[in-house]
Amino acid sequence: MLLSALFNTSVTRSLVARSLVSRLQRTYSIGFFVKCSAVGFMMAFWFGFAPMICKAQENSEIDFGLQIRPILAEHCFHCHGPDPAHREADLRLDEEESAKTLRDGKRAIAASDPNASEILHRIASDDPDLVMPPPSARKTVTPAQRELLLKWIEQGARWGNQWSLNKPKIAPLPESAKDPWGKHPIDAWILQAMRDRGLEPAPPAPPEVLARRLSLDLVGLPPESHRVARFVEEIQQGRSVAIARYVDELLQSPSFGEHWARIWLDLARYADTKGYEKDLKRDLWPYRDWVIQALNDDMPYDRFTIEQLAGDLLDQPTTSQKIATAFHRATLSNDEGGTDDEEFRIAAVKDRVDTTLQVWMGLTAGCAKCHSHKYDPISMEDYYSFYAIWNQTEDADRYDDEPRMPVPSFEQQSQLASLQSERQRLTSQLDRAQLENQALVEQRWTLAKPTAVDSESHAALFIEEDSSVRAAADRPATDTYILEVKLPPGTYHALRIEALMAKATPEDPSPRLGLNSKDPNFVINSLEVLHGPTQARVGLKAKKVSFEQNGWPLTGAVDDDSKTGWAISPKQQQSHWGILELAQPLVVSEKVGDAEEKLVVRIVQSYGGHLMLHRVRIAFATDATVPLIVEELPAVEAIAKRSQELDKQIQSLRESIPKLPVMRELASASKRQTRLHRRGSFLDPGDALSPALPRLFDAEEAGVPDRLAAARWLVDPRNPLTPRVAVNRVWGQIFGRGIVETEEDFGSQGMLPTHPELLDWLAIEYRDTKHWSLKELLKTLVSTNTYQQAYVQDEQRKERDPRNLWMSYSPRFRLSAEVVRDQALEVAGLLSRKRGGAPVMPPQPEGLWRSTYSGAQWITSPGEDRFRRGIYTFWKRTTPYPSMEVFDATTREVCQIRRIATNTPLQALVTLNDPVYVEAAVGMAKRWMSSSDSQSDRIRTGFAQALCRPIEPDELERLMLLLSRAKEHFEASPDSAKALLSDIPFASEGEVRPSELAAWSMVTSAILNLDEMLMRP
Amino acid sequence: MNHSDSVFEAAAKVLRRRWFMRDCSVGLAGLAATELLRGEQMAHSASFFGGEFSGDSTGEKSGPLAPKPPHFPGKVKRVVYMFQAGAPSQLELYDPKPELAKRNGQLPPAELLKGYRAAFINPNSALLGPKFTFAPKGQCGMELSEVLPQIGEIADDIVLIRTMQTDAVNHAPAQMMMNTGSQQFGRPSLGSWSLYGLGSEASDLPGFVVLTSAKGTSGGASNYGSGFLPTTYAGIPFRSTGDPMLYLSNPKGVDGQTQRESIDTISKLNQLALEQIGDPEIASRIQSYELAYKLQTSAPELMDLGTESKETLELYGVKDPKEASFARNCLLARRLLQRGVRFVQLFHEVWDQHGDLTNGVRNNAGATDRPSAALVKDLKRLGMLEDTLVIWGGEFGRTPMVQGGNDGRDHHNRSYSVWMAGGGLKKGLVWGKTDELGFNPIENPVHVHDLNATILHLLGFDHTRLTFRFQGRDYRLTDVHGNLIQGVLA
């Protein structure tokens, strides 16, 4: 069998490797050397490293994009590139025409004629005045590069594009596709590249290793041991079926979205605060939950793109599509006092432009903010024309972060609905009760029907049908209304005066309360009731009033002081009433029309300024003992009180609903004019520019592009970069490094792909065959022999593939900050499965949050919220969660394409001493102790649970030693045991001796700190 | 600890093999650029702290923090940066303006206000005379404010730049500008660049330590962050109360011996894995744990001022050695420098006197004058000033115009004062001159990039060549700017 043949060949090469064979068969892992974490190799290979170089030496045709342009870009474009401001001698080497044009009898590049090609003379010249690049550039073209240029010119100097701007194309599969190992196209390309370098693949990884690797890679959590056991069993029956089933399970798990969302949120610079000095809280988490959901739903990448960049511009956008647009509202917002909002709005828009090009196309456009790009074809005009597309949203670095969209949870929605429906029910109840009461009350009042009206000024007064009296507006500034009224016979105890809104009339179209249209207040300085033949004045006493202006009470209208009176400012917008008690009952006999019963009401309004009643009505009541107004009725009061309570509840519920900042396009009338910012400064505006897409590939152009057009352009099938960049990023997650190592840069300064044909194959597969499905792409990747290799080292690999560029063994790299933490909680049996919702605050050292001008505090979350997955941890930009920061998580202030892994003592301090990890160790110890009565069995089971492999005898021996020493310590000092367990609520549950639990916790803590635990196997 | 010794010995052996640097650098032989090698070194985060494995018989160096030679021999080896956040008023402290006093209450000349950007006030506000008197100090006759008597005593040791200029007018962006050379987030800080370029000589402490007194900084962690450089180069904040570093103490109830036992077990198991797997990263991990253990002793020892004499405490004005203060941080800075720490940065954010200027400046000067001067005197006494760079300054200055009634000043980015002392610098020099009202430099303006270029120069770097390739571009601290301030160099 070929595989074993491969295996044997490789192992016989080294004694060390031979010793590894037995280990591999025994347990889990082989391998010798090398960890190539993503750490900073980027610089080493930009210069001219290319997988094709060796082929060139075999006289095959040289690829301009992959082999020649990078040399020109590195050495020449700075002065002979796209930036006109720095161009020398009017020569461009980024354009074929300019490069091959005859000038002063010379050509920079003369096809098929090396001797006539000035460039070859210049790069080889010894003359400091002639040599290129000039000595000041401190760059030299290497002999290998010179050789390449020479051959290329000999071959005819065929021009082309920057490699990444060429359309991805399917290349014929290499020879190695015939090999059983290389049956899958991915494996064929990988195997071919290995063989080209005299390498052979590593044997397949043991099932336990594969189980842990797949689980950590796909869901960011270790597998449960019973599942590993089943996997190992199933794999005996049939490897690929077992793997496919296991992978499907993982991809279906909701944990999948949580893991991959974390990766996306680094790009989205997602955080729970706004950044800068104040760094106030921002409710962005509904967007985080949207990303998790979209990934779990396997939303195709094109839709995923369009909804985040322009969901609001789709036809009839759904709530979910609007939530998606928060992607670009994650930009920083500066709430520091004294800032110019426009300055920071512009900074945010530029960040959106840079992030968009970076995330989707792997282009760094940032340079073009201040000058035309020196290496890539993005001029300053291109930049600001693209910027113009993003410059049209409503957000403007405002303190309130508007526009925002309330995003109630399901619970909040139903709670709000039920409160609102109760409130509605009460309102109609109240209306009904009020109407009933109104009718009831009206029965108790008898309207005094005006029979004759006049005023001191004799300006007109009109009697209305409802017994009210309306004053014409045209009258002196003060006046006294004199109303002669008639009442049915009876004994009256109380008087009511109503100030009513005047109805609009043709002469006086605006209805109002008082005559003065600017201030429709009134002042009644004196209200007098005159009765009988002598017109004796009836004494009045103010009882109740709808409203009294401060200093102008109703009593003022019935005292003897003509300066005092009743007024109602500021409530000029409603009718008013006043109720007065009569000093003596007013008896009206049946002698109708008799002067004996003449009843006159005088309303003196001497304040001035036309502050006079517009419409007034008088009524009398016979019985002053029954309630005379609505509010006094208890039923109404009860309903009103409940309504108020409900209003408060609704209000506070509304306030608790997160308000998510979203993108919203400006109305066309208020669109911004975009100008180029000279030298990148918004204070120095240049020419006005129309929105336009960069001309990086041939795309259809239809009208003025907006954000939606830009989003569609990014996922246009003609866009050569988007699928390449996307698959490369996924590859990087799975294999620890992208095929293009500089995942963030596919421009001419980025590194070249190690496997260009494979990258193209993947890009087309992802876009066209898998229809942008991430889950399908992952399924494909992890099903390959390449992925399923073991970690192996031997002299040959050490020599020929030290950085694992050729993938002749499985990579080994450190888990991300979140996975390190989640894994610890998971193997301790503590990790909460609660999904989504507001961010949580697991324990962190006190006193860390010390923003200069913010009182925000870290309040440790209770209950299971202590143990949520890392993605739910509150992310404060100026003070990120410290233990994650130590493991290379970023501040999330700007888009971060990949994290560079480090290995520091501070990480050791976290996993040794951070109370979160101590708690995990104690949780783990409890689990272990309940698994068996035998100490060694406990360790065996627990170790396998944590690391998915059986323990080795020497490992067991050392852990037993630690256990006995720790027991000695804690048994001698029971207080120490109590102290260790003191802040851990679950530690005291069940019948466990503190000293024993503490001792076991030291053993589990050691497991959590093993290198193997922290590494992806 | 025989057992553990052997484990670390074995790990060290693997590290010394350094197959990569020896075997793989062959492929890079054609490349002269030291940056490339730096990049490769970073790949092997073998030793977090410098020194540990450097300079063995083959002369190989390892670890991202191993000491590295700069471009040319530097005048200084280490830096202490007393960052006075909030923007100290140069008009009350360092830049005497008698004419401003005479024109107190008058409006500023219109031509000075063209294009003026203030944060809060209408620029057309009345001029405000300086609140304190100035007098010549030292042999050099440097004019300094009455509230800086101690700094007056070191006038002959410092270079005072009166013509600093910056681009930003708000605290957070301006602090970022001073510390990272950019108002945008994501760039490495000055301390990170220094560490990236030089590595560290501290064997059991981080190479870049941050101490904070008063309020936290407006720019947050990014003021001392590593930006796009690996986090190994980030400043590590030491805390003034409790553990000096996060997670430094053993878990409660775990004594030193038990912790040692744990680490030995971890290392033993890692050692077994190393023998089987051979990944040098495992050796690095073993080292990290050993260094973490050392740090658990060295950091608290560092913070314990009990060994300092009464005279020293008095020199710095440390009243209570346990209580957090700027004075205590200055003394701690000296202790850190003595232990080989490359870059120490103190953040003291108190200087934002929009109002209550007279009292505010007097009190702040009272708390910072003595310790700042003491640090220079103490370093000099210890013979360390010759190869140390001391920097004192904030993110911008304050307006000649009044804010509020008659006792406040707004943000002013056109001229402010910063002083430096130490190796490679002239002494007792005033550099730059502002106009009679303190608006603009009229002689020798110094932009933030110029200051940073000069700082790197003193450390032995050509600021245009200390670069890191990120997103397709060779980034540097000074962007595309920066000119050496030749006039201040000795």
A983: nearest CA partner in chain B: B252
pLDDT at position A96 over 90: no
Of B24, B218, B284, which has the smallest distance from its Cβ to A852's Cβ?
A: B218
User: Which residues of chain B lie closer than 8 angstroms to A33, CB-CB?
Assistant: 19, 278-280
Task: For A427-471, give the secondary structure using H, E and C.
Answer: HHHHHHHHHHHHHHHHHHEEECEEEEEEECCCCCEEECCCCCEEE
From the list B226, B287, B267, the residue with the least C-alpha distance to B63 is B287
- Quick one: pLDDT band at residue B33, thresholds 50, 70, 90? very low
B250 touches chain A (CB under 8 A): yes
Q: Where are the domains of chain B?
A: 2-65+259-296, 78-240+324-488
| Residue B147, SS3 per DSSP | coil
Could you state, in order of their start, the residue ranges of all structural domains in chain A? 62-157, 258-407+663-716, 448-626, 817-887+904-1017
pLDDT of residue A48: 34
Q: Residue B34 has what pLDDT?
A: 32
**What pLDDT band is residue A633 in, cutting at 50, 70 and 90?**
low
Q: Nearest to residue A730, comparing CAs of A277, A260, A27, A52? A: A260
Least CB–CB distance from A791: residue in B258, B270, B277: B277
A138 in contact with B, Cβ within 8 Å: yes
Least trusted range by pLDDT, from B48-57, B360-369, B433-442: B48-57
Query: Is a pLDDT exceeding 80 seen at residue A852?
Result: no
The candidate with the shortest Cα–Cα distance to B121, out of A683, A338, A398, A336, is A338
CA distance A60 to A914: 58
Higher-pLDDT residue of A632 and A510 is A510
Amino acid at A89: A
Q: Residue B35: which of A43, A338, A793 has the nearest Cβ?
A: A43
Nearest CA in chain B to A850: B216
Q: Does B304 touch chain A (CB under 8 A)?
A: no
pLDDT at site A632 = 54
pLDDT of residue A186: 98
A867 and chain B in contact, CB less than 8 A = no
Fold of B78-240+324-488: Alkaline Phosphatase, subunit A (3.40.720)
Q: In this complex, is the C-beta atom of B29 within 8 Å of any C-beta atom belonging to chain A?
A: no
| Amino acid A372: pLDDT | 74
Least confident of A643-657, A806-820, A929-943, B9-23: B9-23
Q: Tell me if chain A has a CB within 8 Å of the CB of B281.
A: yes
Which of A495-499, A750-754, B390-394, B413-417 shows the lowest mean pLDDT across its residues? A750-754
A448-626: CATH number = 2.60.120
Task: Flag whether residue A561 sits within 8 Å of chain B, measured between CB atoms.
Answer: no
Kindly report, residue by residue over A495-535, the tens digit of the pLDDT.
Answer: 999 999 887 777 667 778 999 888 899 999 999 999 888 88
Residue in chain A lying closest to B120 (CA): A338
Q: What is the pLDDT of residues A853-905, one digit of tens each?
A: 667 889 899 999 999 999 999 999 988 899 998 898 888 988 888 887 888 88
Tokens of A520: 């429709």
- Closest to B48 measured CA to CA, from B61, B38, B63: B63
Question: Residue holding tokens 């037993």?
Answer: A960
Distance (Å, whole) CA B274 – CA A57: 39
pLDDT digits (tens, 9 = 90+) for B104-141: 999 999 888 888 888 888 888 999 999 999 999 999 99
List the 439-478 stretch of B: residues with Cβ below 8 A of A.
465, 468-473
Residue A36: name the closest of B199, B132, B280 by CA: B280
Interface list for B 91-130 with A (CB within 8 A): 115, 117-120
State the best of A740, A913, A962, A978 to mutate against chain B, taking most chain B CBs within 10 Å: A913
Mean pLDDT for the stretch of residues A194-210: 95
Distance (Å) from the alpha carbon of B482 to chain A's nearest alpha carbon: 16
Residue, of A444 and A248, whose pLDDT is higher: A248
Higher-confidence residue of A632 and B209: namely B209
Would you say residue A234 has pLDDT above 80? Answer: yes
User: Which has the minimum average pLDDT: A306-310, A719-723, B9-13?
Assistant: B9-13
- Contact flag A847-B468 (C-beta cutoff 8 Å): no
Contacts across the A-B interface (CB distance below 8 Å): 314
| Enclosing H/E stretch for A190 | helix A185-196
Q: What is the pLDDT of residue A628?
A: 61
Cβ atoms of A910 and A917 within 8 Å: the answer is yes
Whole-number mean pLDDT of chain B?
86
Distance CA A81, CA A372 (A): 10
CA B16 to centroid of chain Cα atoms: 32
**B362-391 residues touching A, CB cutoff 8 A:** none
CA end-to-end span of chain B, whole Å? 51
B259 neighbourhood in chain A, CB within 8 Å: 912
Residue A630 has a pLDDT of: 53
Edge-first strand listing for the sheet containing A449-455: A449-455, A479-486, A599-605, A526-531, A536-538
- pLDDT tens digits, one per residue of A958-979: 999 999 999 999 999 999 999 9
Specify the pLDDT at position A55: 40
Res B57: pLDDT: 31
What's the mean pLDDT in B74-93? Answer: 97
| Angstrom distance (rounded) from CA A658 to CA A654 | 9
pLDDT of residue B7: 54
Is pLDDT larger for residue A126 or for residue A263? A263
Q: Which residues of B touch A978 (CB under 8 A)?
A: 253
Q: Is A910 in contact with B119 (Cβ distance < 8 A)? A: no
Residue B37 vs residue A395, higher pLDDT:
A395
**Nearest-neighbour CA in chain A from B346: distance (Å):** 16
Query: Both ends of chain A: CA-CA distance in Å?
Result: 26
pLDDT per residue as tens digits for the range A898-954? 887 888 888 999 999 999 999 999 999 999 999 999 999 999 999 999 999 999 999
Contact (CB, 8 A) for A207 and A948: no
Chain B hits for A349, Cβ within 8 Å: none
Q: What is the CA radius of gyration of chain A?
A: 42
Mean pLDDT across A355-368: 88
**For A599-630, what is each residue's pLDDT tens digit?**
999 999 999 999 999 999 999 988 766 656 65
The angle at the Cα of A864, spanning A861 to A869, to the nearest 5 degrees, equals 90
pLDDT of residue A15: 36
Cβ–Cβ gap A893/B186 under 8 Å: yes
Q: Does A53 touch chain B (CB under 8 A)?
A: no
A482 versus A80: which is more confidently predicted?
Answer: A482
Q: Does A1013 touch chain B (CB under 8 A)?
A: no
Question: What pLDDT, on the 0 to 100 scale, is given for residue A18?
Answer: 36
B185/A275 CB distance under 8 A = yes
pLDDT of residue A489: 87
Tokens standing for residue A536:
């004796």
Q: What is the ipTM of this complex?
A: 0.75
Judged by a CB distance cut-off of 8 A, whether residue A275 touches chain B is yes
pLDDT at B277: 85
Other Cβ atoms within 10 Å of A502 Cβ, number: 23
Res A178: pLDDT: 96
pLDDT given for residue A627 in this prediction: 59
* A positions 871-930 inside 8 Å of B (CB): 877-880, 882-883, 885-886, 888, 891, 893-894, 896, 900, 902-910, 912-915, 918
Q: What's the residue count for chain A?
A: 1017
Residue found by looking up tokens 């770097």 in the block: B461
User: By mean pLDDT, which of A243-247, A335-339, B370-374 is the weakest?
Assistant: A335-339
Residue A844 main-chain phi, psi, to 5 deg: -140, 155
